[in-house]
A = this chain, B = another copy of it.
Amino acid sequence: MLPKELFQPKSIAVIGASRNQEKVGYGVFANLVKAGFPGSLYGVNPGGGEVLGYPLLTSVEAVPAPIDLGVFVVSPKDILKAFPILAAKGMKAAIAISAGFKEIGGEGILLERDLTAMAKSTGIRVVGPNCLGVIDTHACMNASFSNGTPSKGNIGFISQSGALCTAILDQSIGGDIGFSKVISMGNKADVSESDLLEYLADDPETRVIMGYIESIDDGRRFVRAAKEVTSRKPVILVKAGATASGAKAASSHTGSLAGSDNAYGAAFRQAGIIRAASIEELFDFSIAFSMRPPTSSGKILILTNAGGPGILAADAVERLGINLFEVSEELQAKMAPKTPPTASLNNPIDIIGDARADRYRDVLNILSQEDSIDTILVLLTPQGMTEPDETARATVETLGKTNKAVFASFVGQASVEEARKILMAGGIPSYPVPERAVDAACAMFRYSNVRRADFPEDGGSLGGRPMAAQRALGRILNKGGKGGEEDSRDILEAYGFSFPKNAFATTSKEAVEAFRSMSVPKVVMKIVSPQILHKTDVGGVKLGLASEEDVANAYETMMSTISRLVPDAHIEGVSIQEMIVGGQELILGLTRDPQFGPLLMFGLGGIYVEVLKDVAFRIAPISKRDAREMIREIKYYPLLAGYRGTDPVDEDAVVDALERLSVMSSDFPEILELDINPIRVMPKGKGLRAIDCRVSVAGTEK
């Protein structure tokens, strides 16, 4: 938990306060003074002198105790020297603005380690280093070198980029957006995004949390914290570096598909975070949540004075998969006397080009009384008779105080500028084009689907036989970490996965014998060799062998092909498997994300997985609900659910299997990657049959 002294200190010492207006140390001190910080404020600078009427103390020792908050704008080494002195004076929290730490590498890394250690050992929480600072508008505290102080508002903003902080504050200072708190996180040596989310969740001045994130260090804590927060307040984040998944060398399909962005995507989804695709969306969404209560109907009513913008808004509604509110005949009858006969009273309601403010007001009055409508988009295009300002006022007066989510888009520039200001000041979020307003409305609906905390602390009720798996893992380790099919299968069987009948053979004769003893109609033969991972590529798979002769021939062909194509491979033998007919091919997988830990994958299997990439990810541990959501997230799902003549598959069995994989991932952190591909899901009630699998194990862990 962060101390409240970070935001509402009674006393602040600025180490490195400066008289030189070019220096950051001046900027920070001046911001504190100009924002009207009501507590005791001390500046420290060896040169002494006076800033804005405050005398500068020449040493840290001279600062009178008690001090709640230390703000540091001196060199890293001077921070480390001053810190213990202020700690002794009762400092509860610190903001390290100075750069020169981890971001410069080398010695900077060591200095940052020292700062972190000091924070841990004293219990004093440190924001930064290498950050813009911290602002609490309601406490009149601006401990940052921002260019001015933003307006008061109810948006809490956290940012991993100081520059972006500046840019966003610039918008606030010039415009219509207000903040409760602004925290530039810098290098996150101590205070992390998770700490801040938890604090802002409890902050009565903060209604919505927006943030810019480049990386998350403790992914699992973040998901846990965010999940708790989003059940109380919307959290909207933009994740930069989203597509730069890097060239991770992965030997499994799951590993190669699970770029870090998929892990963030899964984490955000599981945590109920609304992800903005750009800074513009971050703003657009935050403004909406800041001004209006979240709504859940999924239906929008559009009011317009021109067809074109109405159609564009309706297009956006359809594209986003939400709906137009259906206007009943009764409601149409109420509006009819207030509108000309050529108006269109279906949604979008078009009260046509000559609508003055009074016509808008009449219709908005009627709409404001309709409880079944929770989301309204008011569009205006400036035409001959249009009264933009007065229409803005009518919108605010009729809808501003209601519990409806109301959005406005007055299209144009010169004639609607003032109207937009009236709308924003009246609590109606206003967007330059209709599509952006619809996007924001859709974000609200998405938030209403955010689940309340149901994050299982460890696995579900399904377990496995860890000891049996442990033995197989040991064998894999002995072979260098890459599991062959036999050992991989043993691990999965220990967790309840079932495979076709199976035997191992090292000669043609043994293969024929295996076929005979299985007494199944058809078998598949596959090469067993630690060097051959993609068996199909080298002729290492033969399907549909239906007679002893088939089996013998397949064996000879396979050996001669492989010895030609992969002469260096060590061939252990072949596996003879019962051939499974029917069902649908899926892939289940597990990989490890550096931030979030075990990442489960579900998707369309076989060779399709790499081309169609129709897969879903979740961070383990998962609940049954998570598992079911994963299954239903893929595009192919309708075919699994039973589509025109195909039987529905055994979805419950897939849910169980995903849960079991989740448990396995926590039982065995040394399992780095795992593919079960394909795994065939049979019709409802008939379970799963894993066909092929592969496990990679880390040798150094556990």
Contacts and interface: CB of A to CB of B under 8 A. Distances in A.
A200 to B, nearest CB: 20
Interface stretch (A169-177, A451-459, A475-483, A689-697): A169-177
Given A315-B243, A636-B611, A308 B163 contact: yes
Nearest to A27: B384
B315 A242 contact: yes
Contact of A164 (B315, B411, B435): B411
Contacts of A416: 170
A147 B243 CA distance: 45
Of the listed residues A104, A166, A238, A614, the one surrounded by the most CB atoms of chain B closer than 10 A to its CB is: A166
B312 A435 contact: no
A217 interface: no
Contacts of A412: 166-168, 170-171, 174
Interface string A342-371: 100000000001000000000000000000
A636 B612 contact: yes
Nearest to A212: B308
Contacts of A39: none
Work out how many copies of this chain go into the complex.
2
B319 A243 contact: yes
A650 to B, nearest CB: 19
A343 to B, nearest CB: 12
A326 interface: no
A314 B316 CA distance: 26
A662 interface: no
A280 B635 contact: no
Interface stretch (A77-85, A517-525, A641-649): A641-649
B279 A411 contact: yes
Contacts of A312: 238, 240, 278-279
Interface in A414-435: 414-417, 432-435
Of the listed residues A308, A318, A411, A417, the one surrounded by the most CB atoms of chain B closer than 10 A to its CB is: A308
A612 B612 contact: yes
Nearest to A352: B163
A160 interface: yes
A307 B186 CA distance: 12
Nearest to A159: B308
Given A315-B243, A635-B612, A173 B413 contact: yes
A130 to B, nearest CB: 11
A107 interface: no
A70 B174 CA distance: 48
Contact of A537 (B212, B305, B413, B645): B645
A492 interface: no
B278 A309 contact: no
A436 to B, nearest CB: 7
Given A280-B432, A312-B238, A607 B166 contact: no
Interface string A368-386: 0000000000000111100
B170 A279 contact: no
16 contacts: A24-B384, A162-B306, A163-B308, A163-B381, A168-B412, A170-B411, A170-B415, A173-B413, A174-B413, A174-B414, A175-B414, A214-B311, A241-B311, A241-B314, A243-B318, A278-B435
Given A170-B413, A537-B644, 4 more contacts: A147-B382, A161-B307, A171-B412, A212-B308
Q: When A and B form their complex, which 8 residue pairs have the shortest distance between CB atoms, in order from nearest?
A: A163-B306, A174-B414, A161-B308, A170-B412, A174-B413, A243-B318, A536-B645, A167-B411
